[in-house]
Structure 1
């Protein structure tokens, strides 16, 4: 939740009624035996979905308690902190009040979004500052990091997925019986879909590790085993996954994320590698799915747009024969920029390229700006990764992340965090940027300082 919710809850319940000033109503609380007094204006800042939002009727008017006092059997010290947060927008926790206790009470009152907004502001790549580095206590290398909607994350590590909440407290890891994890995707702060090599897709509760249901592939009425790779969701409730099976089950599967039932399947056309796709992305405006295969056996990159309504591939591109015949020119990541009707690609050198979807040529316009991101190549470099967020493009290269903005995607900032080595993956969620390093299993968290209080 960004800024004051719902336009400051109706501009604080329309403080002007007609031409007359409405005096905020005074409200009294008895919290655990301690009295507090505030106003309806302060409570309105909590938003309709909060504990205090229930005190307003559907017209936004404060409903007064006949006893003129609301009793809440909760911690009064934490209530004082949260009430001050609503009054000032600032979060100050006294030394005698445990921080986790405040967060627990904020969860009860429905004020977690207000807490996060006070701790860090909306993500801005040009103002990001390193917040913390976390070491993953496990042997071997981590391969992928995915940010949750509330600012937590998960890290894929062989056949395990390590889970961290927004306070970066670790939950028990999810173990998948020696099945290699290929991808993970958050439905909500507690719902996590994980794709594996042989066990397909499963929806897990991130806090308990409980498997809620599996997403089966059915062909001619028979449930088939399959390998699942890339995952994504549309703007409704559909889960998309690239699938590779044993008999005519190569392509993109579609399931209802709420029921786990398969609702569609797109079989790959001849000459393409949809079953090996490394990245999926939903285009909300055109109701199409971007499918990118970036690490096929022949080192060719295949990118396509699929329209499930017509069961057709409406656009496609491949770098086969279009680039120099050296390994360092192959495309290693791609991301769709629907607002610009283009797709951004990056090669192993960190060069950015742009493909105009409106052009029939499918040619790549390479940007010279990415030359500024280059440095000394490490002994074990990681492939560059791309993330797009609110009109800013983030590209990892070696141990840095470059930020590009504007119509020409100019380089505006460079981020360099811990000494964990090359960055193997990046993710954005809950107004946080995460960078997973290949060395020592370390990931960095970047946050934007909170906005100034006026």
Structure 2
């Protein structure tokens, strides 16, 4: 027998009738779709296709009442790992069929390469409802995103189709974050005397409020304003109430119940925090309160196990720091555990690093006050562009720029995409990494 491969036995083949068109393939190809796909139930625990074959070994034809052209595209994707959509076939139709078959992750993986800031390209810009009211954008784990506009959070799936919005009934949104691919957590201001505000868990697909998080103090439920959010296996949120509910609250992701509260020490502003970030290696929460909310920057690391502030820093009393003196106020900060440092940026486009071990700073680099750290690359927005810094010395290696829409007020990286929200025209851009070239 010629060739090094094993022969395809009848029991290893399966035939589909999709909308009247026949497709025959192998168990190996179908298994590539994964256990959670439409095809998963065709296999037993040992990944055998016996359940869809007759006892005599003849193929059983499985009928699927769906679009046959799209099925052919997706079947070829499972065979080769490459996605080719004929020009006459609408991409959105293929994407929706991929959702039905549970192979959208395969489509995303073939359409976009691994995220690398120096390779991304602008693929589209999405206009919002009203200019100038965009406040935050957050990329979702499945390639979609959500955008906060005043009291509304607009949600987009990975095809950039808008889903039903999250409406907070005139409560201004402070922050928003993805708990998982199906749920979004929103924090909002309390309106004086109304007893609203706080945090809510929403269904990302239909906008339904699923749970409202509460703060308990002195055995009573308290009304509070919720600010910056962060996630680990818990939900963290900066809180500001009318009594003594100033600090950072902690809620269990599974039950939604409050499990802890770090009360604000005298002289610090945990309840007004602009950024929370969970640092998994340190097992601590970074809390940063920044200008213009406060005239001085306060950064701290909270260890909830020891109930202590294990590290803290403020730009007060650092006159020799070239980045953070006088009117050069800190506008954003982000922890980089790989470099054992915190990166800060001020309103004059100066970038500096605070060493968590010695509080020393490094040389300046130009950038603008929004930061992100992803796959060992540092990203910083500057007016209408985003700079990408790489390597141990954080060298500027690329700059992403799209001037339409005004300055960038927020950006987010998730999965294989970078989302950038422009402040003036309420437009957000989607940057994607092109797929790697095939090897022949």
Do Structure 1 and Structure 2 share a fold, with TM-score over 0.5? yes
Counterpart mapping for 1:375-390 below 5 A: 384-390=369-375
**Matched positions, count:** 418
Shift of 1:27: 2.3
Q: Distance in 1 between matches of 2:62 and 2:40?
A: 16
Task: Give the corresponding residue for 1:58.
Answer: 45
Structure 2 CA distance, aligned partners of 1:431 and 1:330?
Answer: 33
1:262 aligns with 2:258: yes
Aligned positions of 1:131-280 closer than 5 A: 131-198=123-190, 199-234=197-232, 236=233, 238-280=234-276
Q: In the alignment, does 2:65 pair up with 1:74?
A: yes
Structure 1 residues 66 and 155: CA distance shift in structure 2, 3 A: closer
Q: Which runs of 5+ in 2 are unaligned?
A: 191-196
Quick check: 49-58 or 141-150, which moved more? 49-58
Tell me, in whole angstroms, the C-alpha distance in 1 between the residues paired with 2:50 and 2:6: 15
Kept in 2: contact 1:418–1:444 (CA 8 A): no
1:126 matched residue in structure 2: 118
Query: Is residue 419 from structure 1 mapped to residue 415 from structure 2 by the alignment?
Result: no
* 1:292 partner SS: strand
**Alignment of 1:441 onto 2:426:** yes
- Are residues 166 and 297 of structure 1, via their aligned partners in 2, closer, same or farther at CA, if it must alter by over 3 Å? closer
Deviation at 1:257, TM superposition (A): 2.4
What does residue range 273-352 of structure 1 map to in structure 2 within 5 Å? 273-295=269-291, 298-322=294-318, 323=321, 325-327=325-327, 329-352=328-351
Distance in 1 (alpha carbons) for counterparts of 2:294 and 2:436: 49
Q: Is the 8 A contact 1:55 1:62 kept in 2?
A: yes
Please tell me whether the aligned partners of residues 89 and 453 of structure 1 are also in contact (alpha carbons under 8 angstroms). no
CA contact (8 A) 1:133 1:418 kept: no
Report the Cα offset of residue 220 of structure 1: 1.8
2-side partners of 1:70 and 1:303: how far apart? 63
Using the alignment, how far apart are the partners of 1:147 and 1:266 within structure 2? 28
Please tell me whether the aligned partners of residues 411 and 419 of structure 2 are also in contact (alpha carbons under 8 angstroms): yes
Q: Is the CA contact 2:171–2:188 (under 8 Å) kept in the aligned structure 1?
A: yes
1:16 alignment counterpart: none
Q: Conserved in 1, the CA contact under 8 Å of 2:291 and 2:329?
A: no
Q: 2:395 aligns with which of 410, 430, 433?
A: 410
SS in 2 for 1:364: coil
Q: Deviations over 1:189-236 (max 9, x none)?
A: 2311100011100001122211001000011221100011000111x2
Distance 1:169 1:341 in 2: 39
Q: Give runs of aligned pairs for residues 85-124 of structure 1, distance below 5 A.
A: 85-124=77-116
* Mapped contact 2:38–2:101 kept (Cα < 8 A): yes
Deviation, 1:174, is 2.0
Gaps of 5+ in 1: 1-19, 374-382
After superposition, give the CA deviation of every residue in 1:273-326 in whole Å (9 maximum; x if it has no partner).
000001111111222111111136542111111111111111111111325544
Aligned-partner SS, 2:334: strand
2:18 maps to what in 1? 31
Deviations 1:54-81 (A, max 9, x none): 4444344443633322413231222111
Task: Name the counterpart of 2:31.
Answer: 44
